[in-house]
Amino acid sequence: MMIQDMVVLGASGDLAARYLLPAVARLHAAGLLDERQTILGIDRDARDDEEFRAAARARLARKAPDLSVRDVQGVTDRLRHRSADVTDPAQLSAALGDLTGPAAVYLALPNTVFGGAVRALAASGLPAGSRLIVEKPFGADLADARQLNATIHRSFAEDDVFRVDHFLAKQTVLNVLGLRFANRVFEPVWNALHIAAVDIVWDENVALKGRAGYYDGAGALKDMTQNHLLQLLALVAMEPPTSTGHRDLRDRKIDALRAVRPPAPDRMGALTRRARYTAGHLDGRAVPAYVDEPGVDPRRDTETFAEMTVFVDNWRWAGVPFRLRTGKALGRARREIVVRFRPVPHQPFPDTAPANRLRMRLDPDTISLDINLNGSGDPFCLERVHLNARFPAQQLPPYAHVLLSVLHGDPTLSIRGDEAEEGWRIVEPVLRAWSAGDVPMLTYPAGSDGP
């Protein structure tokens, strides 16, 4: 059943402006919203409905300028606003008073107030059957994630909890499943016998972009690796699921994550790297050093580049390194999963041929396979050939797909509670080693290839 009422806690914040409102607008433009769909925004701001709608129109003009005036109006007409402290049960109950049926409640809030907001929701008389949507980061560490899960489960069933990761709705990410499990040519060689290494990379060619308030307290490892990149690893490493139902898919993902072995303390220097950018140039524009960005506290020692190599200790992947890398202010955007195959055991050709490589680019959505064929000149000399496929753009952006699945009650594209906890288990040893200074902080100029 599609839920008709959406509640946004923290409706005036950056997250709602950058992701949520544009996603709702895309769903409206595609005709995928119920005509009775309403959106109630709640925050501390003292504003009436029309002021809230005017602010939303201005935000959509900046974030989704291609939308028609009619589509923007179709979304903003659905908006209402109430002022309340979202961690105060009495105030939140009064703000939610008009709800008569189940609602999808979106926590567009700093993760430090998730627990207080969930407790206030539990005491506010939220209608039965309501759903909870939680943005990353889910918790500040493993203990905090466990406590937050316990708080949530006192009021919400796990199938009604949606821990949002829009990476899971990207077309190429979902194509990992089709590539592996619908093609006999790949699955038999998807193991340590034939694969030498896997790289999962999310390099960004943008700097901080005014996000110091969040980013300086998180850093690259928490912001990207703990959630997004480990989710990609789970899809690459998981065993074949019985079906594409949410229970089967998420069971197989958690199996893969539980098998991940983080670097041992005495191997942190060899298997992890951290760095932050210094002054440089991006697209011809001067960029200040990270420590000189507005809102950054240099004493935090926050990294803008994180790399770690882990191993999946199971029968399929024993001994295969999985390298997870992410960074900001790099010279080029590189967002891909690269599967590096082992060389053939014997080559009768005079020149050694490089090993095959499968590259799944996540933006733009492409897949390429590097193979070796006999050359056009000497038939016994090999040439490298690249087989490429590019996919048409998704009709809906990933965030809109995730939101639509929430409204329909399908948790397949969200992260289960135990998955979130496993992500923290994997990165916490690295965070401890970095905090203790066991791994030096490197530097790289903005616009370069990294450290």
Which residues are known binding-site members for NADP(+)? Answer: 44, 85-86, 136
Give the DSSP letter of residue 328: S
Strands 305-312 and 161-164: unpaired
Q: Residues within the annotated binding site?
A: 44, 85-86, 136, 166, 170, 204, 223, 328
DSSP assignments along 90-129, one per residue? HHHHHHTTT--S-EEEEE-S-GGGHHHHHHHHHHTTPPTT
Per the residue annotation, which of 28, 81, 228, 401 is the catalytic one? 228
- The pair of structure tokens assigned to 296 is 């950054």
In a 3-state reduction of DSSP, which class is residue 215?
Answer: helix
- Our answer to whether residue 246 is catalytic in this structure is no
Helix 142-153 vs helix 417-435: angle between axes, to the nearest 10 degrees? Answer: 160
Contacts of 342 (CB under 8 A, 6+ apart): 193, 194, 195, 196, 355
Q: Residues within the annotated binding site for substrate?
A: 166, 170, 204, 223, 328
Q: What angle do CA 360, 363, 367 make, to 5 degrees?
A: 25
Is there a contact between 364 and 339 (Cβ–Cβ < 8 Å)? no
Is there a contact between 276 and 305 (Cβ–Cβ < 8 Å)? yes
* Nearest-10 Cα torsion for 394, 408, 413, 170: 10
Q: Tell me how crowded residue 208 is: count the other CB atoms within 10 A of its CB.
A: 19
DSSP assignments along 166-179, one per residue? GGGGSHHHHHHHHH
Give the DSSP letter of residue 408: T
Tell me which residues are annotated as active site: 228
